[in-house]
Amino acid sequence: MSDTHVSVERREGVQILRLTRPEKKNALTDAMYNALADAMVAAEADDAIGAHLFASFQGVFTAGNDIADFLAQATGGGPQGLRGVMRFLEAQAQAEKPMVAAVDGLAIGIGTTLMFQCDMAFASPEAYFKAPFIDLGLVPENASSLLAPRIMGHARAFELLCLGEGFSAERALQAGFVNAVVPSAELDAHAFGVAARLAAKPREAMKLSRALLRGAPDERLAVMRREGALFAERLQSEEARAAFMAFMSRKAG
Ligand code: COA
């Protein structure tokens, strides 16, 4: 486990990324996004790697963006320039190698929208997907406003992204962003096996086929940047500040 709370493991042609900050439910800081982005860019450039796998740690995928980081940005103390989160989102949108997810437990915010960037996903019965952007005064990110309606239709995407309703593993399976529900104890091995099979296939044929199925990244990048501009604006809003403060002080009363 590294200082950055991101574990990077490579075997049999698969790079496995895992968030390792269990004391904060694997909530993502900017440093963690940067570590993920660095690892993804390195794996894309490395001929030894043929697939990415996003896995869970200690029964949690992620509780989403660190709300203390959101609050710091809302009050002007956040990191400046090209932030780690945008580097990570763009690394996903531009990836040419297949991406697989193995979700055990909570997958909140970007933990849910990451599924729409992945090519295949597996969930344990304990998986719980939730995208509470509006409750936080924010807007959906990670090109989810484009990809979610495409995958599950407008009504279900609206329920998930705008009503902010949580989806169980079974519901995610019905909605079409999870391939199978696998018992927690078998989840990692199952998802790894699929990722390794993808990585072992002829690389160029895989890359071309994936691009045919997904389309060029331009559209996703354009939507992602439009969402990102609104998201940055919303971070400064009174609605967002109030929601972040409410979360940060919820245990005080
Ligand atoms: N950002 C920062 N800290 C977070 C966090 C987040 N997104 N999610 C959890 N944590 C922290 C909690 O503050 C708590 O820290 P503490 O022990 O220092 O108080 C610790 O992780 C454990 O979380 P806790 O809330 O006690 O666990 P829980 O099982 O009762 O609830 C969640 C777990 C994930 C449902 C709840 O923490 C939550 O709603 N988190 C926010 C999710 C969110 O809105 N993410 C942003 C999406 S855009």
Whether residue 178 contacts residue 172, with contact meaning beta carbons closer than 8 Å, is answered with yes
| Number of domains comprising the chain | 1
Q: What is the pLDDT of residue 162?
A: 98
The rounded Å distance from CA 9 to ligand 1 centre is: 26
Is 191 part of any domain?
A: no
- Residue 173 Cβ inside 6 Å of ligand 1? The answer reads no
Q: How far is Cα 69 from Cα 55, in angstroms, rounded to an integer? A: 23
| Domain assignment of residue 239, yes or no | no
pLDDT band at 82 (very low <50, low <70, confident <90, very high): low
**Structural domain boundaries, residue 56:** 6-186
pLDDT for 90-140, tens place per residue? 999 999 999 999 999 999 999 999 999 999 999 999 999 999 999 999 999
pLDDT at 42 over 80: yes
CA 193 to chain centre: 21
pTM of the model: 0.96
Closest residue by CA, ligand 1 atom 42: 63
Measured from the CB, is residue 134 less than 6 Å from ligand 1?
no
Percent of the chain at pLDDT > 90 equals: 92
For ligand 1, whether the C-beta of 250 sits within 6 Å is no
Arithmetic mean of pLDDT, 242-247: 95
**What CATH number corresponds to the domain at position 135?**
3.90.226.10
pLDDT per position as a tens digit, 141-166: 999 999 999 999 999 999 999 999 99
In a domain, 212, yes or no: no
50 is a domain residue: yes
Taking 90 as the threshold, does the pLDDT of residue 17 lie above it?
yes
In the chain, % of residues over pLDDT 70: 96
CB of 220 within 6 A of ligand 1: the answer is no
CA dist 156 and 163 (Å) reads 10
Ligand 1, atom 16: closest residue by C-alpha: 24
Res. 251: pLDDT tops 90: no
Residue nearest to atom 38 of ligand 1 (CA): 63
User: Would you say residue 109 lies in a domain?
Assistant: yes
Confidence band of 80 (pLDDT split at 50, 70, 90): low
Q: Express each pLDDT in 173-207 by its tens digit.
A: 999 999 999 999 999 999 999 999 999 999 999 99
The band of 1, judged by pLDDT with boundaries at 50, 70 and 90, is: very low
Spacing of C-alpha 109 from chain mean position: 8
For a ligand 1 pocket test, name from 20, 67, 126, 234 the mutation site with the most ligand atoms within 8 angstroms of its C-beta. 67
State pLDDT tens for residues 209-232. 999 999 989 999 999 999 999 999
Is residue 101 situated within a structural domain?
A: yes
Report yes or no on 224 lying in a domain.
Answer: no
Tell me if 200 is assigned to some domain.
Answer: no
Average pLDDT value over all residues in the chain: 95
